[in-house]
């Protein structure tokens, strides 16, 4: 045996290429054996099979595979009615799972009851509307879709669809999430939505070619998307439509896509559908997009797409295209040195960077900072490198709360945010960067409790100190700024001594997100606050609320108090 090994060693020294070739073949064979062993014992499924090469498999990352098209195009080649199954599908039953069979009625009924119980808990953000038939060739929900064959939950699907402005979220096959603006299929029996969610055994996530569909009550209507366009709503036809929306085109075969593409080509940010006429323009004082109408008034079918609405001659269905509205994009330093220093003060995580973005667009002048953050400078905040006393910027970002620091400023915009949201946002920033997220280990480890213990008191003292030592303080609640951006931004710009141009503010509304908005893809699916933390924070909220009211200001918004 030893002689044989010596001969092999001498041979491979002379032929190194053959050695590495054999080594590669050995490793490849080992990988195939490992994969095969991982798939053994899985149930066989009737119907067409899908290869793991299609993008799903045991090695999927936590976020799953994202499909950003309006449907799952890869599935279009499958036979009608065929179900996408694969060896990653696992069942609690040892029997083969056959299409059309629900198995034991008792277990199906118990899963349905558990799912119904879970749905009742979701009522505040979504309403379950039923089990629906799905088709791999023509999807019931035709917006974004994504899969996670390890950790899919009802909340995660709802949150992702709501984040992108869709009205409906549907779960299928225990691990697939589909979003859409319309449900384009017939109802199915509730017993056919019988598959447990992969990441939440107590809830139901559809079935084989069956969707458990929810209507998202809290979806931001102003952020609803249709492909690349953002849905803005249904609006009454402006008095002088030819001036308010200067470009128009008759389209007998009208669809949302055709009108959006036409206005995009003409380089207008608004696309308004009026039956068979497509209008393009900008949001102006003649057409502010502030007075929305009931969408049913715009619910006239498109001539070119039966499942879409195209508005009427009186009520326009408006979408925002991908064309950038450049009326509010110019920014510069102040032409003369500012006589007063205005602070943009907030607790960390309260939306200061977002407020700076809005102020820069609304005024056309750069904002400065008490600190220096290179990542913000690289994202376009050119006032970041100036000394905060330079006088070249319209206002100064600061998180300081000491008497000496506060009295350095002549006036201030004090931005206050719900402490539960602000603490989580700052924790994410501290451990994940401006648009990143803290790791799961940080939330579950000692870092989070220590962070809350140290930062929660600061949230209260920051506001109290600015109310006490600030010379001229304008209080703005982050939640009010999100809810009514136009009015709140007018107040902020007024304190800065700038005459607010309404068309410019309307332009800001269409570009409000900026570069530092976190995606909803990795929002926590559990409450990180313990009862003890909540008790402590509630006390701080009451203290701040009392302090605001003593100064004849409105107290904190109702949603600061946990339900």
The count of other CB atoms within 10 Å of the CB of residue 19 is: 15
Residue 22 lies in a domain: no
Last residue of a domain, which of 257, 285, 320? 320
Residue 85 lies in a domain: no
The count of other CB atoms within 10 Å of the CB of residue 297 is: 16
DSSP class of residue 58 equals T
Check whether residue 246 and residue 204 sit in a common domain. no
Check whether residue 297 and residue 431 sit in a common domain. no
Rg, C-alpha atoms of the chain:
29
Helices (H), 383-483: 403-406, 419-432, 440-444, 447-469, 478-483
**pTM for this prediction:** 0.63
Residue 82 lies in a domain: no
Check whether residue 447 and residue 538 sit in a common domain. yes
Q: Are 267 and 280 in contact (CB under 8 A)?
A: no
End-to-end CA distance of the chain: 76
Residue 18 lies in a domain: no
Q: Are 210 and 187 in contact (CB under 8 A)?
A: no
Check whether residue 490 and residue 451 sit in a common domain. yes
Pairing of strands 396-398, 342-346: parallel
Check whether residue 490 and residue 386 sit in a common domain. yes
Of 343, 347, 344, 554, the C-alpha closest to 460 is 347
Check whether residue 391 and residue 365 sit in a common domain. yes
CA distance 286 to 236: 12
Q: Are 131 and 183 in contact (CB under 8 A)?
A: no
Distance (Å) of CA 415 to CA 180, 386, 458, 466: 35, 22, 14, 11
Check whether residue 353 and residue 214 sit in a common domain. no
Q: Are 163 and 90 in contact (CB under 8 A)?
A: no
Check whether residue 482 and residue 392 sit in a common domain. yes
Last residue of a domain, which of 221, 251, 279? 221
Give the CB-side neighbour count of residue 59, counting CA atoms within 13 A.
6
The count of other CB atoms within 10 Å of the CB of residue 84 is: 23
Residue 539 lies in a domain: yes
314-371 pLDDT per residue, tens? 999 999 998 888 889 889 999 999 999 999 999 999 999 999 999 999 999 999 999 9
Check whether residue 203 and residue 233 sit in a common domain. no
DSSP class of residue 248 equals E
Domain limits at 200? 126-221
Residue 57 lies in a domain: no
What backbone phi and psi angles, to 5 degrees, belong to 178?
A: -125, 140
Return the structure tokens found at 340: 């007063």
Check whether residue 309 and residue 400 sit in a common domain. no
Q: How many folded domains does the chain comprise?
A: 3
The reported pLDDT for the residue numbered 356 is 95
The count of other CB atoms within 10 Å of the CB of residue 108 is: 19
Residue 14 lies in a domain: no
Of 98, 94, 89, 80, the C-alpha closest to 135 is 80
Residue 119 lies in a domain: no
CA distance 233 to 117: 33
Check whether residue 385 and residue 510 sit in a common domain. yes
Check whether residue 130 and residue 199 sit in a common domain. yes
Of 211, 442, 194, 492, the C-alpha closest to 342 is 492
Distance (Å) of CA 212 to CA 16, 256, 320: 59, 27, 30
Cβ contacts of 401 within 8 Å, gap of 6 or more: 458, 461, 462, 465, 466
Element (H, E) at 476: strand 473-477
Q: What is the mean pLDDT of each run of 10 residues along the chain (563 residues)?
A: 66 67 73 48 36 33 32 34 31 35 40 46 70 89 82 86 79 91 86 92 92 77 63 92 95 92 93 96 93 89 85 94 87 93 95 94 95 85 92 95 94 96 92 81 93 95 96 95 93 91 91 67 75 94 95 89 61
Last residue of a domain, which of 221, 238, 256? 221
Q: Are 52 and 87 in contact (CB under 8 A)?
A: yes
Q: CATH number for the domain including 550?
A: 3.40.50.300
Q: How far is CA 209 from the centre of its chain?
A: 27
The reported pLDDT for the residue numbered 304 is 87
CA distance 78 to 68: 20
- Bridge partners of 397? 344, 369
Beta-strand ranges (E) seen in 220-372 are: 224-226, 229-236, 247-250, 270-274, 277-281, 292-293, 315-320, 342-346, 368-369
Across 334-359, b (16+ Cβ under 10 Å) vs e yields eeeebeebbbbbbbbbbbbbbbbbbb
CA distance 502 to 487: 10
């Amino acid at each position: 045996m030893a002689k044989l090994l010596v001969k092999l060693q001498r041979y491979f020294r002379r032929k190194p290429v053959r050695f590495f070739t054999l080594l590669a073949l050995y490793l490849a064979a080992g990988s195939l054996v490992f994969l095969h062993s991982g798939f053994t014992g899985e149930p066989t499924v009737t119907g067409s099979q899908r290869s793991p090469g299609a993008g799903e498999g045991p090695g999927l990352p936590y976020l799953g595979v994202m499909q950003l098209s309006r449907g799952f195009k890869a599935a279009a080649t499958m036979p009608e009615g065929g179900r996408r199954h694969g060896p990653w599908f696992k069942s609690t039953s040892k029997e083969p799972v056959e299409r059309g069979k629900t198995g034991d009625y008792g277990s199906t009924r118990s899963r349905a009851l558990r799912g119904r119980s879970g749905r009742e808990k979701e009522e505040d953000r979504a309403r379950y509307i039923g089990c629906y038939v799905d088709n791999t060739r023509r999807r019931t929900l035709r917006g974004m879709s994504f899969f996670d064959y390890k950790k899919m939950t009802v909340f995660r699907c709802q949150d992702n669809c709501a984040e992108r402005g869709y009205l409906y979220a549907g779960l299928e096959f225990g691990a697939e999430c589909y979003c859409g603006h319309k449900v384009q299929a017939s109802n199915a029996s509730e017993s056919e939505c019988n598959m447990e969610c992969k990441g939440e055994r107590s809830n139901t996530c559809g079935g084989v070619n069956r969707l458990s569909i929810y209507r998202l009550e809290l979806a931001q209507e102003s952020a609803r998307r249709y492909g690349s366009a953002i849905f803005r709503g249904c609006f009454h036809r402006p008095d002088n439509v030819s001036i308010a929306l200067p470009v128009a085109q008759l389209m007998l075969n009208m669809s949302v896509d055709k009108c959006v593409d036409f206005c995009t080509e003409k380089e207008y940010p608004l696309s308004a559908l009026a039956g068979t006429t497509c209008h393009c323009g900008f949001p102006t004082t003649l057409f502010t997009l502030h007075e929305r109408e009931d969408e049913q008034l715009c619910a006239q079918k498109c001539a070119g797409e039966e499942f879409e609405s195209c508005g009427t001659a009186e009520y326009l269905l408006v979408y925002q295209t991908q064309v950038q509205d450049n009326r509010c994009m110019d920014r510069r330093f102040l032409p003369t040195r500012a006589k007063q220093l205005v602070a943009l003060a907030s607790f960390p995580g309260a939306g200061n960077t977002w407020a700076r973005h809005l102020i820069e667009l609304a005024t056309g002048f750069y904002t400065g900072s008490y600190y220096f953050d290179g990542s913000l400078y690289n994202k376009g905040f050119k006032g970041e490198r100036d000394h905060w006393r330079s006088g070249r910027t319209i206002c100064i970002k600061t998180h300081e709360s000491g008497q000496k620091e506060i009295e350095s400023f002549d006036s201030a915009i004090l931005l206050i945010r719900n402490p539960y949201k602000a603490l989580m946002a700052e924790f994410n920033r501290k451990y994940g960067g401006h648009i990143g997220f803290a790791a799961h280990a940080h939330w579950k480890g000692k870092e989070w409790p220590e962070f809350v213990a140290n930062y929660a008191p600061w949230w209260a003292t920051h506001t109290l100190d600015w109310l006490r030592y600030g010379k001229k303080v304008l209080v703005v609640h982050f939640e009010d700024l999100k809810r009514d951006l136009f009015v709140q931004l007018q107040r902020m710009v007024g304190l800065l001594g700038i005459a607010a141009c309404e068309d410019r503010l309307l332009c800001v509304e269409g570009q409000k997100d900026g570069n530092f908005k976190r995606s909803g893809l990795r929002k926590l699916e559990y409450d990180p606050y313990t009862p003890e933390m909540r008790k402590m924070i509630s006390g701080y909220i009451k203290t701040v609320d009392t302090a605001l009211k003593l100064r004849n200001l409105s107290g904190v918004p109702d949603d600061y108090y946990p339900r």
